[in-house]
Amino acid sequence: MINRVLFYNSGGGTGDAIQILPLIDTLKTKFENAKFFYLCSHENHFNSTLSDLNCKIETLNLDVKYFGFRWWHSLLIKNRIKKYNIEKFDLIIDLQSKIRNSLILKIIPHKYFISSCLNFKLSKPNIIIKKQKKINDNILSAVNYSFNTNYQLNEYDINKINKKFYIESEKLLPKNNYIGLSITQGNIYRKKEWPLNNFVQISNKITQANKVPVFFIEKKNKELKNKIKELIPNALFPEHETNLDSPALVSCLGKRLNFAITIDNGIMHMLSLAKVPMISLFGPTDSEKFAPEYKTSIVLDSKKLYNTKNVSAISVEDVLQAAKQHLNFSY
């Protein structure tokens, strides 16, 4: 019987959390009587930024606010377990793959432990499976091996989102001629952004096709929003025209789009919840690991196309050709 499950994520932003929503939803369905907990370096996105997606999960607070554990945390964790009287977990799922983090995480009392680190060699009991690229597939395969099950990954049910976000998205984008564009990155440590001038050129083609470019720009980036508005007068910025501020709204706005063009960022994952037809642009990050995977998700990866991690190597023509070939876009 599985009564207590702990997910550990050493860091990661909103997009990383969204990516594992289907996995959490699947295991919540299969272990329906279990209580689920989340241990992370910073905030529990499911109870804060992503609370409107209605996949809440309790926070296990050990007062360790680092991006991943440090070796001296092994002593600290032992102290916290006693101090907070942490009960034994039936299952701990390690969502990262750093040896140090996994070894320290194993200090927390548990029955089953699943980690892809060292090709699952740190798992308990032993897991002998082929490691997969997608984190959800990887972990679910390990769960199936451990419990002799054949669970299939659920798709996130976007109908869980409060209807107010659907109503607001229809007000903001009332027509059916919109193409979404997402150009900014949250993680500043890798250069994932595609040149703004390229998006301007794409927007001009969108306008020629009698479509409207819709930019997903956070309210805090008002200066960038104003700059784009000067360059593309007919551009829309729906997030700046509402009092609602939530990834749930972005997902609902996605349902109003013909398709989207985006770099690898949180918006990409928010739109993917709605299965928005999209072209995602990858450079330094691993598209096989992070890109949304469904029929109308088109990936352009500079590493595969041009053998470089510089996403700027992807041309405007590459994107337009992909839109024409896969998404029936013409201008």
| pLDDT tens track for 22-76 | 999 999 999 999 999 998 877 889 999 999 999 989 999 887 766 566 777 788 8
What's the pLDDT at 76?
A: 83
Sheet harboring 4-9: ordered strands across?
A: 58-59, 35-40, 4-9, 89-94, 110-115
257 vs 101, more confident: 257
Q: Which residues contact 294 (CB under 8 A, 6 or more apart)?
A: 272, 275
Q: Quote the CA–CA distance of 176 and 71 in Å, as a whole number.
A: 54
Confidence band, pLDDT 50/70/90 cuts, at residue 10: confident
Cβ-contact 142, 127 below 8 angstroms:
yes
**pLDDT for 173-191, tens place per residue?**
999 999 999 999 876 667 8
How do residues 267-290 score in pLDDT, each as one tens digit?
999 999 999 999 999 999 999 999
Q: Which of 174, 195, 159 is nearest to 283 (CA)?
A: 195
Q: Say what the pLDDT of residue 67 is.
A: 52
Q: What is the mean pLDDT of residues 302-310?
A: 98
The pLDDT score that the predictor gives to residue 171 is 98
pTM of the model: 0.91
Q: What average pLDDT does the segment 191-199 reach?
A: 96
Residues of the chain with CATH 3.40.50.2000: 4-156, 161-327
How high is the mean pLDDT of the chain? 93
Q: Is 117 helix (H, G, I), strand (E, B) or coil?
A: coil
Domain 161-327 architecture: 3-Layer(aba) Sandwich (3.40)
Q: What is the pLDDT of residue 6?
A: 97
Cα distances (angstroms) measured from residue 236 to each of 52, 170, 181, 331 = 24, 14, 10, 19
Distance between CA atoms of residues 269 and 234, nearest Å: 26
Reported as a single tens digit per residue, the pLDDT across 99-135 is 888 998 999 999 999 999 999 999 999 999 988 989 9
pLDDT computed for residue 97 by the predictor: 82
* Residue range 4-156, CATH number: 3.40.50.2000
Least confident of 6-15, 154-163, 255-264, 322-331: 6-15
The pLDDT value given to residue 30: 95
Mind giving me the DSSP string for 53-78? G----EE------SSS--TTHHHHHH
Strand, helix or coil at 278? strand
Please tell me the predicted confidence (pLDDT) of residue 135. 92
Whether residue 161 has pLDDT greater than 90: yes
Residues 6+ apart with CB under 8 A from 69: 10, 77, 100, 101, 104, 105
If you count them, how many residues does the chain have? 331
